[in-house]
Amino acid sequence: MTINDNGTATNGTASSIAIPTSSSNTAATTNGNNSFTVKAGLAQMLKGGVIMDVVNAGQARIAEEAGACAVMALERVPADIRKDGGVARMSDPELIKGIQEAVTIPVMAKARIGHFVECQVLEALGVDYIDESEVLTPADDTYHVEKSNFGVPFVCGCRNLGEALRRIAEGAAMIRTKGEAGTGDVVEAVKHMRTVNRDIARAQGVLASEGEVGIRALARELGTDAALLKQTAELGRLPVVNFAAGGVATPADAALMMQLGCDGVFVGSGIFKSGNAAARAKAIVTAVTHYRDAKIIAECSAGLGEAMVGINCGSMAPSEKLAGRGW
């Protein structure tokens, strides 16, 4: 039998990443093995699960008991960031520590786009994943964080394939749709997922009809790396795990994103801004496992109380949209 003895190569979603992340820079990492397999591997373990935004230890416990596969620590949920305005930053480390002590599932936390010192602080706190997030106020209007230098893995948002592959080239080991956080309106998340799918189908068509030359031209158009684009076309999907985020408020929303091809779901304001957070959280987890089974989704959606009120994305001015942050 033939065996691929390259231990860093993987199968399925994160197969042999074209970028040499593990050898790129180890200086910034303190300990642990900084290989891309290990970073992307945790995201693969989260697949088919729900990651919930929480602002304190009490909410984190509710999320864990509901069956969340991880929690995301942030100082305010996106709906409140929208309402309150002002500058949104990384959480107080005290709150993050409290959440880490309260639960045994992975704890993620958000850092501002480009704010590599917030990322260093989160790594020092031992968070399991960093979300370099447009939901917080960007700290750099030119550069995203150079993520391959860190030992802790990163997840980043995208609206299309070019943006996703730019983040992966910077070292992101997991991608999510940006959607429109804090609205409870799933329309933007659907748009971003459909756009990524359409872009991948196009890259596959170009690779089949024009080969390498066509991929290079398309990479230039999308503003991304040609090797990563080719790899994506060959796989027929993003080379890392891709979750839905930004506007998921109901079990049916979550199952919709799964049926569109997402690997799992982030839920932000949708849970703790609703009438019965514990019941809704549990129902969304059930709907993500059984995303093709409408009977089960019907059962778990019944009697959940009030969903978050929501803001209609169609009535928002472009300047009010968080998804426009980052590039």
Residues recognised as catalytic: 110
Footprint of other proteins (CB under 8 A) = 1, 3-16, 26, 29-35, 37-38, 41-42, 44-49, 61, 64-70, 102-106, 123, 126-129, 151-153, 282, 285-286, 288-290, 293
Between the alpha carbon of residue 272 and those of residues 13, 84, 222, 286, the distances in Å are: 31, 17, 37, 17
CA 88/CA 302 separation, integer angstroms: 35
Radius of gyration of the chain, Cα coordinates, nearest whole angstrom? 19
Q: Please, what is the minimum distance in Å from the beta carbon of residue 80 to other proteins?
A: 27
Report the residue number, 107 or 308, with the smaller CB distance to other proteins: 107
Report the residue number, 81 or 103, with the smaller CB distance to other proteins: 103
Q: Please, what is the minimum distance in Å from the beta carbon of residue 155 to other proteins?
A: 12
**Measuring CA to CA, which residue among 209, 220, 129, 107 is closest to residue 175?**
129
Report the residue number, 126 or 211, with the smaller CB distance to other proteins: 126
Q: Please, what is the minimum distance in Å from the beta carbon of residue 137 to other proteins?
A: 26
Residue 162 contacts residue 222 (beta carbons within 8 Å):
yes
Per residue, the 3-state secondary structure of 232-291, as one string, reads: HHHHCCCCCEEEECCCCCCHHHHHHHHHCCCCEEEECHHHHCCCCHHHHHHHHHHHHHCC
Residue 75 contacts residue 205 (beta carbons within 8 Å):
no
Between the alpha carbon of residue 105 and those of residues 26, 52, 99, the distances in Å are: 27, 11, 10
CA angle 46, 8, 100 (to 5 degrees): 35
Q: Which amino acid is at 132?
A: E
Q: Please, what is the minimum distance in Å from the beta carbon of residue 190 to other proteins?
A: 23
Q: Please, what is the minimum distance in Å from the beta carbon of residue 19 to other proteins?
A: 17
Q: Please, what is the minimum distance in Å from the beta carbon of residue 175 to other proteins?
A: 17
H or E element that contains 132: strand 129-133
Report the residue number, 147 or 159, with the smaller CB distance to other proteins: 147
DSSP letters along 71-104, please? EEE-SS-HHHHHHH-S---PPPHHHHHHHHHH-S
Report the residue number, 37 or 269, with the smaller CB distance to other proteins: 37
